[in-house]
Amino acid sequence: MPEFRYDFDPVDRITTGAVGQPGHRTFYLQARRGSEIISLVVEKEQVSALAEAVEQLLENLTERNPLLSTSEDLLTFHNMLLEEPLEEAFRVGQLGLGYDENRDLLVIIAQELGGGQEDEQMDVVRLTMSREQARALAREGAEVVTKGRQRCPQCTEPMDPTGHFCIKKNGYPTVTYDV
């Protein structure tokens, strides 16, 4: 079993969020256990992939054993905002998702992004959560990702408020206008 620098087993609270303006946001995965908070910097794509993977895992678990949960697995989580102070523990290089069948808990393992040194010891975090917490995390993650820049209808690339150079229009700018 790997050693965890941080072990939130189980979490009291888990969420994801972003800070900054669209196009320049920093994404976080944040957990609390008691008075201890950990904030991990993640990529937007990691938040999206984690949300999708959690939803898929919950769906698979419900299919395998429908008696373990309701169809929604969702308690009311009103406040999914990031907590202050927002102090980065590390930037995540790898995220893993699993399931502890004996305790009916989902498990996220987050490993620090390494600098490429072979002998470098990277931090590892374990976050375990209930199905309800996981479902709320997935929904919040999916929502946070969609609050970014608008996508170009031609090439689907993100657009800045001033537009962008659309490859589908041979590099001509696509400009958005506020009406």
Query: Can you give the CATH number for the domain in which 123 is found?
Result: 3.30.2450
Residues 46 and 107 in one domain: yes
Give yes or no for a cis peptide into 158 (omega within 30° of 0): no
Question: Domain total for the chain?
Answer: 2
> What does each C-alpha distance from 98 to 21, 103, 127, 131 come to in angstroms?
32, 12, 10, 12
Residues 31 and 110 in one domain: yes
Average pLDDT over residues 140-147: 92
pLDDT tens per residue, range 59-95: 999 888 877 655 454 555 668 999 998 999 999 999 9
Residues 111 and 163 in one domain: no
Tokens at 83, concatenated: 């907590």
Q: 1 lies in a domain?
A: no
Least confident piece of the model among 7-16, 30-39, 78-87: 78-87
Residues 10 and 97 in one domain: yes
Residues 144 and 155 in one domain: no
Find residue 94's DSSP bridge partners: 111
Confidence at residue 1, expressed as pLDDT on a 0 to 100 scale: 47
Residues 96 and 175 in one domain: no
Give Cα 53 distance to the centre of its chain: 10
Residues 35 and 50 in one domain: yes
Residues 23 and 85 in one domain: yes
Residues 20 and 78 in one domain: yes
Q: What is the pTM of this model?
A: 0.80
14 with 31: CB under 8 angstroms? yes
Can you tell me the distance from the alpha carbon of 143 to that of 67, in angstroms, rounded to the nearest whole number? Answer: 28
Residues 101 and 24 in one domain: yes
- Name the residue range of residue 163's domain: 150-179
